[in-house]
């Protein structure tokens, strides 16, 4: 039997319909227990390829594979009852051809039970987005700063500062909307441009480092919880500092194991009384 037979989650159509009505709350999630905690509060859970950096210690998302996305996508779907779940297509799984993109997306949809896929790219990916959407795969676009292009872009930096760059991002967003995406991420983009694009589109824009002008927001959950101690971009706000909490719990555990206080009597099985 399918593991995702009784889906009651928000659909990509309901996320799209939030434009101009409700702000869209989105966070990344990579595991079942975290998905369960986020689900009641979020409209969208994104199984981002940021998991390469957050969970696997990679420097960029370039090394993330379809196998990783399928495994974590399934874990998140298992933990989501209400939120719409979108899984990232990783680098290399959709750029070669639209047919290849369809097969990669199909694998994620079938193996995880997710509601759609996200891919990075503007005008150059519009034909692929149209191909997927026409064949039943909901697509979440991603423009502005595109982390999978880090090697050609020469690093991670905010976008839209020059007229030419701003014009390209405008065209990218319009092309992805036109191709049928139900929403799109705008990452690392200057506020006036994000505001203008948001006003010009009929689908929700979900900002990360693109200001409050977007229709919704997404952050990496480990950043929100203060669990990721790598580079902290300007746009990250830590809503908790769980790193020190984890560290102190583990320090107490180590102390109690070393001095023989743990496990205590209540953690120990005794023979049943006869
Ligand atoms: O991979 C990711 O987590 C993302 C979001 C942060 C937008 O693409």
| pLDDT value at residue 20 | 97
Q: Is residue 273 part of a domain?
A: no
Please tell me the total count of domains within the chain: 1
Average pLDDT for the chain: 95
Q: Which atom of ligand 1 is nearest to the CA of 208?
A: 7
Cα–Cα dist 113/35, whole Å: 14
Cα–Cα dist 59/38, whole Å: 26
Q: Is residue 196 part of a domain?
A: yes
Kindly report the protein residue whose alpha carbon is nearest to atom 1 of ligand 1: 48
| pLDDT value at residue 6 | 55
To the query of whether residue 187 is one of the catalytic residues in this protein, the response is: yes
Q: Is residue 3 part of a domain?
A: no
Pocket of ligand 1 (CB under 6 A): 28, 46, 48-50, 88, 185, 187, 208, 218, 220
Q: Is residue 256 part of a domain?
A: no
pLDDT in tens, 132-152: 999 999 999 999 999 999 999
Cβ(217)–Cβ(207) below 8 Å: yes
Q: Is residue 108 part of a domain?
A: yes
Q: Is residue 116 part of a domain?
A: yes
The enclosing domain of 125 has a CATH number of 3.20.20.60
Residue 220 alpha carbon to ligand 1 centre in Å: 7
Share of the chain above pLDDT 90, in %: 92
pLDDT in tens, 27-47: 999 999 999 999 999 999 999
Residue 254 alpha carbon to ligand 1 centre in Å: 35
Distance, first Cα to last Cα, the chain: 43
| pLDDT value at residue 154 | 80
The structure tokens 């227990």 sit at 33
Q: Is residue 91 part of a domain?
A: yes
Mutate to test the pocket of ligand 1, among 87, 88, 90, 236 (most ligand atoms within 8 A of CB): 88
User: For residue 1, is pLDDT > 50?
Assistant: no
Q: How far is CA 179 from CA 62, 117, 139, 205, 208, in A?
A: 25, 14, 9, 15, 22
Torsion of CA 38, 203, 50, 209, to 10 degrees: -90
Cβ(77)–Cβ(114) below 8 Å: yes
Residue 137: give the domain boundaries.
12-241
């Amino acid at each position: 039997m399918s593991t995702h037979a009784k889906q009651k989650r928000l659909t990509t159509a309901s996320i799209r319909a939030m434009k101009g009505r409700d702000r869209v709350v989105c966070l990344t999630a990579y595991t079942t227990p975290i998905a369960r905690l986020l689900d009641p509060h979020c409209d969208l859970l994104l199984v981002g390829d940021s998991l390469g950096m957050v969970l696997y210690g990679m420097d960029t998302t370039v090394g993330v594979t379809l196998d990783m996305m399928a495994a974590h996508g399934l874990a998140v779907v298992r933990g989501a009852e209400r939120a719409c779940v979108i899984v990232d297509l990783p680098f290399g799984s959709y750029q070669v051809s639209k047919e290849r993109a369809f097969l990669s997306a199909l694998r994620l949809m079938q193996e995880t039970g997710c509601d759609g896929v996200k891919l990075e790219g503007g005008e150059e990916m519009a034909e692929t987005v149209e191909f997927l959407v026409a064949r039943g795969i909901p697509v979440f676009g991603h423009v502005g700063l595109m982390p999978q292009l880090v090697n050609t872009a020469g690093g991670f930096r905010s976008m839209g500062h020059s007229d030419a760059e701003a014009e390209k991002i405008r065209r990218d967003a319009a092309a992805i909307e036109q191709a049928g995406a139900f929403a799109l991420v705008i990452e690392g983009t200057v506020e006036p441009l994000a505001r203008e694009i948001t006003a010009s589109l009929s689908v929700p824009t979900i900002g990360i480092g693109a200001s409050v002008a977007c229709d919704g927001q997404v952050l990496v959950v480990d950043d929100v919880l203060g669990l990721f101690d790598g580079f902290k971009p300007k746009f990250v706000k830590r809503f908790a500092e769980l790193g020190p909490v984890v560290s102190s719990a583990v320090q107490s555990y180590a102390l109690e194991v070393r001095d023989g206080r743990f496990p205590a009597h209540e953690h120990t099985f005794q023979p049943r009384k006869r």
